[in-house]
Amino acid sequence: MKFLKDFFETNRKHFSEGGRFEKLHPFFDAVETFFFIPGIVTKTEPHVRDSLDLKRFMSMVIVSLIPPLFFGIYNTGYQSNLASGLPVTFMAVSLKGLKIVLPIIIVSYAVGLAWETLFASIRKHKISEGFLVTGLLFPLTLPPTIPLWQVALGISFGVIFGKEVFGGTGRNFLNPALTGRAFLFFAYPMKMSGDKIWTVVSGANYQGVDTISGATPLVVSAAQGTADFIESLLLKAGFTFPKLFFGLYPGTIGGTSALMCLVGALLLILTGIASYRIILGGILGVLFAAFPGYIMGLIHGGSTVPMLSMNPFFHLVMGGAAFGITYMATDPVSAPGMNISRWIYGFAIGVLTVMIRIFNPAFPEGIMLAILFMNLFSPLLDHFEIQFRLKKRVPNV
């Protein structure tokens, strides 16, 4: 590894003060610290420091994103080949998935990193590792048919207006990845919702399109006016509970599989990186909000709003609820910092998600708006919990 060290040593002068690329020092620093933990030593007491740094912290999130990412690549390819009438062998499907997903991720990272570097060099900050998470979370929430220029636009909006205008990582009150997605959702609704966007159709057998419905389970369930049990509606469309749980159905790139999100959530909770309070609170919130409608549906035999009488557990495995609760709601910066607030925050996200799904026909999916909405409330939740806590202290002034 001598040559790597030498490489950084010989090139350091160009990026230091007075060097040719002085302005790009944050970029140089980001690359160097990716390879080497710097030999910085403590200056004051405490003389020792925990081994955990923000790079490790964010790496753990990336690691926990690997299951939904890999599954998402497979699923995207699988849905595409299925719809296009192409072979669905593992290799073919994975390659197809990579072909669709990889450009989206690369664009997301490249454009986002460019903005990060720009802001970091103007502000003379370091480039924060938080971006590595944002840059991967964002593509996973997109439909696979998204045009690449929209990916670039979305991540730009997310990074600039979701984060940097407020001062960068640690000062943003909204989740940057979701901010970018919300921007695309409202700016280009045709590319972000409906039942035609969830599968990339290609290849010779293009006629196959009409025979296969690209509808996501949420679109199916949101169908209004049919006095039928929702489960039978879903079943008609081929969505059984195990299928929904496993996630092999059309949807966002990374958000379809509740199973993979569960794996990621377990990893995040076991390593203590994400707050289990938010995740459990979110799950409880979804179940709590969906339960009364389900009971009423059982008593009255269905409902005019089919979503209302749906089995609460279906809410957890459909759409992006699992992905959002696991990866988006647990972003520590935009979530509350106090423990009871975290329970409330998670719970409210769950409740709001179901409410939006059931009562707002304009939005089949509610998790994105629920999280962004609760992001706004997390400082307030923190404030009240802190005030409550301070009352119990013996004053010391």
What residue ranges bind another protein (CB under 8 A)? 1, 4-5, 29, 33-42, 44-57, 59-60, 125-126, 128-130, 168-171, 270-273, 275, 332-333, 335, 337-339, 382, 386, 389-390, 393-397
The angle at the Cα of 44, spanning 41 to 46, to the nearest 5 degrees, equals: 90
Instruction: Give the whole-angstrom CA distance, residue 294 versus residue 309.
Output: 4
CB distance 272 to 96 below 8 Å? no
Residue 141 beta carbon to another protein: minimum distance, rounded to whole angstroms:
21
Q: Which is nearer to another protein, 170 or 238 (CB)?
A: 170
Residue 58 beta carbon to another protein: minimum distance, rounded to whole angstroms:
9
Residue 375 beta carbon to another protein: minimum distance, rounded to whole angstroms:
12
Residue 27 beta carbon to another protein: minimum distance, rounded to whole angstroms:
14
Residue 123 beta carbon to another protein: minimum distance, rounded to whole angstroms:
11
Residue with tokens 């990339």: 200
Q: Which is nearer to another protein, 83 or 127 (CB)?
A: 127
Q: What are phi and psi of 290, to 5 degrees?
A: -85, -15
Contacts of 186 (CB under 8 A, 6+ apart): none
Sort 106 into a burial class: Cβ within 10 Å, 0-12 / 13-18 / 19+. middle
Supply 152's token pair: 């670039």
Q: Which is nearer to another protein, 241 or 276 (CB)?
A: 276
Residue with tokens 């039978």: 232
Residue 342 beta carbon to another protein: minimum distance, rounded to whole angstroms:
9
Instruction: Give the whole-angstrom CA distance, residue 177 versus residue 169.
Output: 12
Residue 1 beta carbon to another protein: minimum distance, rounded to whole angstroms:
5
Q: Which is nearer to another protein, 2 or 20 (CB)?
A: 2
CB distance 381 to 338 below 8 Å? yes
State how far Cα 268 lies from the chain centre: 14
Q: Which is nearer to another protein, 288 or 377 (CB)?
A: 377
CB atoms within 10 A of CB 320: 26
Q: Which is nearer to another protein, 57 or 363 (CB)?
A: 57
Q: Which is nearer to another protein, 34 or 149 (CB)?
A: 34
Contacts of 32 (CB under 8 A, 6+ apart): 8, 38
One-character DSSP codes across 233-282: HHHHTT--HHHHHHT-SSSSTTTS-HHHHHHHHHHHHHHT-S-HHHHHHH
The one-character DSSP state at 125 is: P
3-state secondary structure of 316: helix
Q: Which is nearer to another protein, 198 or 343 (CB)?
A: 343
292 CB-side CA count, 13 A: 7
Residue 29 beta carbon to another protein: minimum distance, rounded to whole angstroms:
8
Residue 103 beta carbon to another protein: minimum distance, rounded to whole angstroms:
25
Q: Which is nearer to another protein, 65 or 307 (CB)?
A: 65
State how far Cα 380 lies from the chain centre: 23
